Structure 1
């Protein structure tokens, strides 16, 4: 056990113990180099050298896998330290409780909460499954899911996650290839010597997890029965969703987490009460319907009329969204339009305009947007150019406007940090959220703004990967390309009429010059080049026409950052003896 105020790895000061398990103790620590809080898990000393090597190998594989991920629901592992006969794992600090601890303390959970958690887990699991190559988590269960005070889900413990190679077997597997899993939650194929795991394996585990949260009955200790046999008040539609997710045969389950997310969002439509209401409605309008069909057949244009009706509905809701001044009504109208023409990007582009008009994308807005676009993603991707443009615009929305509680995570939990450090952390969290959208746009061949999207994607990659690389001592050579991308960002922002984009580009560049000038110098960037970038960033900020208090504040931030950036640049070119170079 590490004492309070002790230092691990010469930089992490232990603040408090925040958790304890059979093999590990978890501490809250302050990073003296980055002035940031991390969680540090201490793995107790294992006397068996073979077992210890296995533990170290497993943690190393997990860390290398996670540092390539970029999803707000996946906490990062940034450092591994062997010290004082213990192994320390440094990771993102997540304030919250595991779903298993919530279940133990409070008992079976509300249906609406469990469905919300399930949809969030579908999103992060679908992100893993869509990677190239795909990643199967293999251990979804309540103890591996944390819930933050804001209601956001975090997926933890990638110890047995598996990266699946291509069909030819030419790519090695990352992670333990054995059929591991937790009895009760693991799918049957995980315990079959000849079984093969894929996305449907995680679908099963997610279904079992939601079953446990709703009923309080552990799937291993009690046979999984229909949930309404345990709690009759639960939804028949939800019972159907979980029954399908936990079928023994993978072919009979949802074939992806995106499919399961859609089912969870619409489970009430399967309820008997809903079907009864539809039946009554059908009977009430049966005569009218028959007459209408006869008329259409006689007119010889039934198919044409049906298509016209759909287009009319779509146009109606798009018109409603465009005409109303009420943001909530406009949002509902555009979401409705998106559900009618599922391959149209127009409703989402209108949502982006609405959401960014006030300079801030809230958590509620982000959840509505993400839910809608995820549901219809496959249809939207059919048109590569349209999808690339929508991805690019979505990425810019996250990059410049997302101001929800999830983006404030570390800053809100870090006492003693100055305002600048909190703003920096929030900025980099937004950048990470935008990353996958910028990659979508950058990787679409022929997209007109692919080069600009690549600038954003590369900057996001740098900010996502640099902390682990610094800790590994393998960050050399990364800074000069990043410096070039910052120059490109400032140049492109100068062509924009959007003041938010101009000011954010200026502040990001000045912040990098304040934090990394010695790293830039080590990679061959000259003092003059850094000063030129600082001047360009300040000019960009000063030439921005601010019309709101928020923009005034961002402009002032850039002006205030300019002098510290120049001082940091000058200090970076002072050698050990104090002679300026």
Structure 2
């Protein structure tokens, strides 16, 4: 065992022992030069019967964590393989596990549990969106650290694995009984994102009831049988999460996140209120029936009533200054009978997401996707309307999506399906079809290029990529009527592409004249944009500060005639 006061790797000073498991000991250490506290996890080789097997698991765990960056996940700093032990240096997470909170205080407050659940959904959504997806598979209170600020961190990736299709051997007998999904045991199926949904549901059950599903009788009853004061909406969510058949659970973390954000709306009390409102609406329509003349007149008045209601809601939404009220009014407009196929409420939502804080959050994306998917049949009845909604949704993901800390590559790849829908459904003569094709092609390039390079199959992919960026620069970046943040995001994407792929562009036949023209277009357009907010000013200055290095990348790539034309 490591001694208190000793140095690990000459820089990590052991301060105290903070935990011990069957195979490992965890210490708190400090790097005195950096004045930073770390956690040091030591596995002694002489204390483990089959150390090589254990080491393989540890290596798999550290390899996964090294690739990740999320505020609710720990970071791996160093891995040290000595003669006596295997040591992992990672973030030191202050606080205690939720398991300890349950031991000390029992069932946790419902509102607090729901906030933790949203954070864990965000983590799972991040893991599942990796390429390949990472399935965590051991969600439980003991693996969730509650920090002093009230936020949570997911720890212990010992059973996490990268998803491999039809790989049943890797999904046998992993996880903790009671929390683990049925498909994790006995070769009953393959673990995927829905497995983590089950584990999170079981964890929520434990947190709000105080009843441990890994202890006899190993059952999860509806939570209100344990505590009638709990929400029936939350009860329905947990029951859906923990269905034995994965097809009956929430199918993604985003879908579960949306349900948690709106758990009150599926609560019995809320439904009763809505029924009373519906009764009032029906009464109004009934009065119209009394004064209508014949069936034709009845239909006319009902349609007119729906139209008036829709227009009033749209007008109120446009005037609303409170963001939440605006979003609620647009949602109510979509729900008006026979109006779900109208485009204006969806476009109003999209504009509201942009104007609120120039960020399209995962919660907002789940909300918009649900509205569109629930009403897709009505929307597709008018291809022109549906195409416009898909195009604007694609742009929303491309320029504003905040998943993965707003990474431009993540944004581009997240938008592919929407632009593909534009391509597949656009009526003849649709004016933005070429732009949709360019967006989709660029997104696919970023999605596939790492694999193409690994398989030496990337030649010929860079020239179309370059041409598509040029298409967007000339049609959007130069358009002074377009929003400044859209123009700046596009200019930065183009600049970054030149800096990263100048040599590849040259190898695919892009001439120095062509790439120089793109560079000067970026520089001159950037100079012409008058920013109006601190955020866009910072974005403009950030791109501007990198132009010199970008020009150097061009000069370095085209300094000889080898590999391309001048």
Which band: TM-score by shorter chain?
A: 0.5 to 0.7
Retained in 1: the 8 A contact 2:171–2:190?
A: no
Structure 1's 310 and 158: CA in aligned 2 closer, same or farther, altered over 3 A?
farther
Distance, in Å, in 2 between the alignment partners of 1:565 and 1:77 is 31
Match of residue 434 from structure 1: 411
2:43 matched residue in structure 1: 44
1-structure distance, mates of 2:248, 2:546: 58
Instruction: Report the counterpart of residue 242 of structure 2 in structure 1.
Output: 246
Matched, 1:180 2:174: yes
Tell me if 1:316 matches 2:312.
yes
Query: Is this contact kept in 2: 1:75–1:94, CA < 8 A?
Result: no
| 1:502 pairs with 2:479 | no
Alignment partner of 1:347 out of 335, 345, 348: 345
**Count of residues in correspondence between the two structures:** 525
Q: By how many angstroms is 1:176 displaced? A: 0.8
Give the equivalent residue in structure 2 for 1:454.
440
Q: 1:246 to 1:367 in 2, by over 3 A?
A: closer
- 1:146–1:402: structure 2 CA closer, same or farther, 3 Å change rule? farther
1:26 and 1:103 mapped to 2: Cα distance? Answer: 24
Q: Distance in 1 between matches of 2:441 and 2:39?
A: 33
CA RMSD for the aligned pairs? 5.9
Structure 1 equivalent of residue 429 of structure 2: none
Partner of 1:159: 159
* Inter-CA distance 209–248: structure 2 relative to 1 (3 Å threshold): same
Residue 469 of structure 2 is matched in structure 1 by: 489
CA distance in 1, matches of 2:252, 2:265: 20
Q: Distance in 2 between matches of 1:76 and 1:523?
A: 41
Q: Does 2:333 align with 1:337?
A: yes
**Residue 544 (structure 2) pairs with residue 559 (structure 1):** yes
Quote the offset at 1:380 in angstroms: 5.3
Matches within 5 A, 1:3-22: 22=21
How does the TM-score come out when normalised to structure 1? 0.65
How far apart are 1:247 and its partner, in Å? 4.9
Deviation at 1:137, TM superposition (A): 5.0
Cα distance 1:285–1:491, how it changes in 2: closer, same or farther (>3 A)?
Answer: closer
CA distance in 1, matches of 2:54, 2:509: 40
Conservation of the 8 A alpha-carbon contact between 1:361 and 1:401: yes
Q: CA deviation at 1:542?
A: 2.0
Q: 1:72 to 1:400 in 2, by over 3 A?
A: farther
Alpha-carbon separation, structure 2, partners of 1:262 and 1:89: 36
2: CA distance between counterparts of 1:554 and 1:342? 37
Q: CA deviation at 1:561?
A: 2.6
Kindly provide the CA deviation profile for residues 117-171 of structure 1, in whole angstroms up to 9, marking residues without a partner as x: 4456557767888999998654333345577869688697383457464xxxxxx
Residue matched to 2:204? 210
1:191 shift after superposition: 3.3
TM-score, length basis structure 2: 0.67
Aligned to 2:231: 235
Q: Residue 54 of structure 1: CA displacement?
A: 6.7
In structure 2, what is the equivalent of residue 109 of structure 1? 108
If asked which structure has higher relative contact order (CA below 8 Å, sep 6+), I would say 1
In 2 relative to 1, CA 312–510 (structure 1 residues): closer, same or farther, beyond 3 Å? same
In 2, Cα distance between equivalents of 1:326 and 1:175: 52
Structure 2 gap ranges (5+): 427-432, 561-566
Deviations 1:66-121 (A, max 9, x none): 97x9x978969999977546768899999998655665677543322333444565
Q: CA deviation at 1:563?
A: 2.9
Partners of 2:161 and 2:80 lie apart in 1 by 23
Counterpart Cα distance in 2 of 1:98 and 1:482? 48
Pick closer, same or farther for the CA change 1:64–1:109 going to 2, 3 Å.
Answer: closer
Distance 1:267 1:187 in 2: 23
Q: Closer, same or farther in 2 for the Cα pair 1:15/1:231, shift >3 Å?
A: farther
Higher mean alpha-carbon deviation, 341-350 vs 312-321, is at 341-350
| Matching of residues 82-231 of structure 1 within 5 Å | 83-84=81-82, 100=99, 108-118=107-117, 137-144=136-143, 157=157, 159-161=159-161, 163=163, 165=165, 172-173=166-167, 176-192=170-186, 194=188, 201-221=195-215, 223=217, 224-231=220-227
Quote the Cα distance in structure 2 between the aligned partners of 1:59 and 1:73.
22
Distance, in Å, in 1 between the alignment partners of 2:137 and 2:212 is: 18
Q: Quote how far apart the aligned CAs of 1:327 are.
A: 4.9
**334-343 or 514-523: which moved more?**
514-523
Q: 1:231 offset after TM fit, Å?
A: 3.8
Segment of structure 1 superposing worse, 486-495 or 204-213? 486-495
Map 1:235-314 to 2 at 5 A.
Answer: 235-247=231-243, 264-269=260-265, 271=267, 273-274=269-270, 299=295, 306=302, 309-314=305-310
Q: Is the 8 A contact 1:335 1:372 kept in 2?
A: no
Could you tell me whether the CA contact under 8 Å between 2:254 and 2:363 is conserved in 1? Answer: no
Tell me by how many angstroms 1:538 deviates: 1.6
Distance of 1:507 and 1:162 partners within structure 2: 32
Q: Counterpart of 1:44 in 2: which secondary structure?
A: strand
Residue in structure 2 matched with residue 417 of structure 1 by the alignment = none
Q: Distance in 1 between matches of 2:168 and 2:320?
A: 52
The alpha carbon displacement at 1:15 in A equals 10
| Cα distance change on mapping 1:181 and 1:339 into 2, 3 Å | farther
Q: Which residue of 1 is the match for residue 564 of structure 2? A: none
Once the two structures are TM-superposed, the CA of residue 210 in structure 1 deviates from its matched residue by 1.0
Q: Summarize the alignment of residues 522-561 of structure 1 with structure 2, pairs less than 5 Å apart.
A: 534-547=519-532, 550-561=535-546
Unaligned runs of 5+ in 1: 8-12, 31-36, 166-171, 408-428, 576-581
Distance 1:16 1:571, change over 3 A: farther
